[in-house]
Chains A and B, each alone.
Chain A
Amino acid sequence: MTLLRDLLLLIIFIFIPVILMIYSVYMYTKEED
């Protein structure tokens, strides 16, 4: 259970923000200058 909780916290606090950041930079490259 502790391991599951730790993995969940890792996804919520670390991986989701990272994916959102990369996605926003990707969308920015698609914008017209």
Chain B
Amino acid sequence: MFPHHIVIWVVFVFYLFLLLFIGFFAQRKFSRTYEDFVVAGKNLGKWVTAISASASAESAWLILGLSGYGFIYGFGSYWIALGGILGYWFNALFIISQLKKDTDRFKSLTISDYIESKLNDKYHIFRTLSAIIVTFFMTAYVVAQFTGSGKQLEGMGLASYKVGVLIGGLIIAIYVILGGYAAVSYTDLIQGILMVFVLAIFPLIAIFVIGGPFEFFKKAGELGLTHLWGPDKFSFFVLGFLIGEAIGIAFGYPGMPHVVIRYFTVKDIKEGKRAGLIAILWGFFAYFGSCTLGIAGRVLVEMGKLPNPGDPEKILPLFVVTFLNPVLAGIVLSAVTAAIMSTADSQLMYSSTTILNDVYLIFKGKRPQQKFLILGTRIVILILSLIALLFALIEVRFIYRFVLYAWSALGSAFSPVIILSLYDKKFNKYGAITCLIVGPVVTILWKDIFKLTKYLYELFPAFLISLFLGFLVSRVSKKLQKN
């Protein structure tokens, strides 16, 4: 076992050094001005935009959580894949170009900048609320990612949970502090390629191990895994739950702040449109690959070729250490870590920019020197990283539900704001503030107070109520102002 582990570590350490190298490279090229450091000069091409946005949107959940869904629900998990693709489709057709046009007009660096300029919020209420929500929920999200890093290394028997958390957290902190937004985007490009490579190729290897596609379908069919309603008898409840979860996930995409910021920073509208196409193709391979991997893993367990992983989220690490050579195992470890890092780095970057750009700069009034702005952002990144590391070290969380919780709160707060700001001419600052409050409140009520998530994923009602009230309050407030 020992030499096997050394090879995995060598591949993994090579990958970590690559990330640090990109951090150093970005520091030399993109830390001369504040705009360079926080939005890479708004000059990113279609590939970086598409793949970094996709890798940031998808956390370790895509590889570990979703393959776990495939393991449990079989073909039923493809509904979730459909939901993910729906999110990419909506962004490609209705958000990217439109948002790029508007944010260039207002010279916005963050969502708050854009909303404040577009809706003329002179008292900075949206900005303040948005900073609180982003900081709170994104830090929670980053904690979940660091937790994933610890679980992954522990699951493969390579390091203890705490060492895993420290490796993930510290590497991210170093390259984000060094290279800022450009480092985040370019490392995410590499990480996104690695993720889609593993999720497109490894299910094929798993199917080959089973005995080919025909054998795979036959065996999966015998186990009832080919039903779209899950492996048990037909149930409207399970089918409804899966479809609800899929639509809920799609609702999150238009407003996820650390993803939407990529649409601000694409070079131009033409590149933005192409980025939309690249992103949906990336999503197709990643989502369907992950589900299929989980289904194939379940077939292998039932065939007795793999031991039962206990926790379905561990099916990929188990498959890798059982069937693959250590170089491929090292690549998988890097891919899962990539999924974790690409989300956590973008969130760290966005929440740090929010704290400095949206809160400190606005309320201070006078704009400090460029050097101070970059240094200030770096200090905020460091502080947030340390806080997230501390939380991850003291508590282990169940990745999937926790990430979905942060996803629903952010999605139900910001998706309605982005959609209404682009498509509702009567939308105003009162409506936007309503969305920010209502989304997270409904999420918390639905999930934690009424405990209804087992019937319907909380983002579904939270998004719709937030959207409706944002629409309604804009009109009512306009009428009241006229009177």
A25→B82 contact, CB < 8 A: no
Cross-chain pair count, CB within 8 angstroms? 63
A21→B277 contact, CB < 8 A: no
A7→B226 contact, CB < 8 A: yes
Residues of chain A in range 1-33 having any CB-CB distance to chain B below 8 Å: 2-3, 6-7, 9-10, 13-14, 17-18, 21-22, 24-26, 28-29, 31, 33
A28→B228 contact, CB < 8 A: no
B280 within 8 A of A: yes
Q: How far is the CB of B269 from chain A (nearest CB, A)?
A: 5
B101 nearest CB neighbor, chain A only: A33
B397 within 8 A of A: no
A25→B93 contact, CB < 8 A: yes
B89→A21 contact, CB < 8 A: yes
A29→B276 contact, CB < 8 A: yes
Alpha-carbon distance between A13 and B85 when the two chains are bound, in angstroms: 13
In which size bucket is the chain B interface?
Answer: 20 to 34
B221 within 8 A of A: yes
Q: How far is the CB of A7 from chain B (nearest CB, A)?
A: 7
B78→A14 contact, CB < 8 A: yes
Q: Which residues of A contact B93 (CB under 8 A)?
A: 24-25, 28
- Give the interface SS of chain A, mostly helix, strand, loop or mixed: helix
Given the interface pairs A17-B82, A24-B93, the reply to whether A29 lies near B280 with Cβ below 8 Å is: no
Alpha-carbon distance between A6 and B74 when the two chains are bound, in angstroms: 11
Contact of B82 among A2, A9, A18, A26 (CB under 8 A): A18
Given the interface pairs A2-B221, A18-B85, the reply to whether A26 lies near B277 with Cβ below 8 Å is: yes
Residues of chain B in range 67-102 having any CB-CB distance to chain A below 8 Å: 75, 78-79, 81-82, 85-86, 88-89, 92-93, 97
Given the interface pairs A22-B280, A28-B273, A33-B270, the reply to whether A3 lies near B226 with Cβ below 8 Å is: yes
A10→B82 contact, CB < 8 A: no
Q: Which residues of B contact A18 (CB under 8 A)?
A: 81-82, 85, 284
Alpha-carbon distance between A3 and B218 when the two chains are bound, in angstroms: 8
B92 nearest CB neighbor, chain A only: A25
Q: How far is the CB of A23 from chain B (nearest CB, A)?
A: 10
B82 nearest CB neighbor, chain A only: A14
Given the interface pairs A9-B228, A24-B89, the reply to whether A3 lies near B276 with Cβ below 8 Å is: no
Q: Which residues of A contact B79 (CB under 8 A)?
A: 14
Q: Which residues of A contact B280 (CB under 8 A)?
A: 21-22, 25
Given the interface pairs A22-B281, A29-B273, the reply to whether A13 lies near B228 with Cβ below 8 Å is: yes
Q: Which residues of B contact A10 (CB under 8 A)?
A: 75, 78, 226, 228
Alpha-carbon distance between A10 and B277 when the two chains are bound, in angstroms: 23
Q: Which residues of A contact B226 (CB under 8 A)?
A: 2-3, 6-7, 10
Alpha-carbon distance between A18 and B93 when the two chains are bound, in angstroms: 14
Q: How far is the CB of A14 from chain B (nearest CB, A)?
A: 5
Q: Which residues of A contact B75 (CB under 8 A)?
A: 6, 10
B228→A6 contact, CB < 8 A: yes
Contact of A3 among B78, B88, B221, B277 (CB under 8 A): B221
A6→B86 contact, CB < 8 A: no
B226 nearest CB neighbor, chain A only: A6
B217 within 8 A of A: yes
A-B pairs with lowest CB-CB distance, top 8 = A6-B226, A3-B221, A21-B89, A25-B92, A29-B273, A14-B78, A25-B277, A29-B277
Q: List 19 A-B contacts (CB under 8 A).
A: A3-B226, A6-B75, A6-B221, A6-B226, A7-B226, A10-B75, A14-B79, A18-B284, A22-B85, A22-B89, A22-B277, A22-B280, A25-B92, A26-B277, A29-B273, A29-B276, A31-B273, A33-B269, A33-B270
